[in-house]
Amino acid sequence: MMTIFLIFILVGTCLVTIGVELSKFWVMIVGRIIYGIGGDSLLVSQWAYILEFFGGDRIGIASVHF
């Protein structure tokens, strides 16, 4: 699942770059939206994975290393 979110981040970054090269503001905005969807979703999935792996009283240590 994280790979899909990384692909969203990659596509969003590429669209922002293309928008800058073409001087198209709307392409940059679309790229930032796609990047934001991928980045926020990746963050949530990483925290879900950490909570699943470090259960109980070890979550404080896991959050320090993350």
- Looking from the CA of 22 toward its CB, the CA atoms found within 13 Å total 11
CA nearest neighbour of 20 among 7, 29, 9, 10: 29
* pLDDT one-digit tens code per residue, 16-35: 999 999 999 999 999 999 99
**Token match 């800058």: residue?**
20
* pLDDT one-digit tens code per residue, 49-64: 888 888 777 777 777 7
pLDDT of residue 66: 58
CA nearest neighbour of 18 among 31, 8, 5: 31
pLDDT of residue 33: 97
Residues 41-46, mean pLDDT to the nearest whole number: 91
pTM: predicted TM-score of the whole model, two decimal places: 0.80
Work out the mean pLDDT of the chain and round it to a whole number.
Answer: 90
